[in-house]
Structure 1
Amino acid sequence: MSKSLAAFLQPKQVQNKEVVISDRFLGEDGKPVPFEIRPILTDEAQSLMKQNMKTQKDGSQEFDNAGYQADLIIAAVVYPDLKNAELQQSYGVLGERELLMRMLLIGEYTNLRNKVFALSGIYDDLNAKIEEAKN
């Protein structure tokens, strides 16, 4: 096997993906409107991880895993624009996290989370192990 730096200079890019999260969001044609999501890079994930690390009064640190996952999903959603004031206002909330929580049923949220994680490669090893165990 030959080593080539070129493979690292021009890696295959992971493209944005359209995913149907729910059949509740219908277009004018009556068909479900997909969300568009993008992959999350490691540096983005680490930055979000730091934002969700909270220092307690006693100096210890606590990680807000649910907040971290919500922030990962928010960062990945390209469409609909979760920052859109009109969309937030229609749900009676301010902020992307609040919008996402009000907009989606728990199963839809889980579906979106799973698709974001899969696109970003978070579940690759786990899915491979599940498939291996099935066979």
Structure 2
Amino acid sequence: MNNNFEDFLMDSFEETQETEREITLGGKKKIMKFKPISADLGDKLRKKNRKIKFVKGQRIIETDQDRYISDLIIETTTCPDLKNSELQSSWAVMGAEQLLSAMKSKMKDGEFSDWSTIVSEVNGYDKSVNELVEEAKN
């Protein structure tokens, strides 16, 4: 194996590409687009959904996994753009989080699970987000 610093020059890093996937949501097949988030944004999303508690002098860090997964879906899904005000308006909500929640109310649990699995795969996780959540719980 060649240890060449040139492999780590900025130009050697590939730009992330948008991918299309067919997914069933609300009982109908749809074509959606996804783009992986940067590790930097991933850190920001984890920190945003983190709570620090102190129990008997011990610092305990808890992550709200449901909110983290929602944020990951919102940031990774490019079509539909959940931040689009016209789309939010059609669902009579304001904000990407409220739109995702409204959409979830009209889809099967397995459909949402498939969406979160695609998002985790697009972001380079070997396991689905749901498997990671289960591991984190244990």
Q: Which residue of 2 aligns with 1:129?
A: none
Q: Which residue of 1 aligns with 2:132?
A: none
CA 1:55/1:92 → structure 2, altered by over 3 Å: closer, same or farther? farther
Q: How far 1:55 moved relative to its partner?
A: 4.8
- Normalising by structure 1, we get a TM-score of 0.74
Cα separation, 1, equivalents of 2:89 and 2:64: 27
Matched, 1:47 2:44: yes
Q: Which residue of 1 aligns with 2:35?
A: 38
> Superposed, which structure 2 residues align to 1:12-31 within 5 Å?
12-22=14-24, 24=26
Q: Percent identity?
A: 32
SS in 1 for 2:13: coil
Cα separation, 1, equivalents of 2:94 and 2:54: 28
The letter of the residue matching 1:110 is: S
Number of residue equivalences: 119
Is the CA contact (8 Å cut-off) linking 1:36 and 1:80 kept in structure 2?
A: yes
The CA RMSD measured in Å over matched residues stands at 2.5
Q: Give the structure with the larger strand fraction.
A: 2
Q: Which residue of 1 aligns with 2:134?
A: none
The runs of at least 4 aligned residues of structure 1 exceeding 2 Å deviation read: 11-14, 23-26, 54-62
- CA-to-partner distance for each residue in 1:34-75, whole Å, 9 max, x for gaps? 111111221111100111113569896532111011101111
CA 1:53/1:24 → structure 2, altered by over 3 Å: closer, same or farther? closer
Matched, 1:119 2:116: no
Unaligned runs of 5+ in 2: 128-138
Cα separation, 2, equivalents of 1:118 and 1:62: 24
CA 1:61/1:7 → structure 2, altered by over 3 Å: closer, same or farther? closer
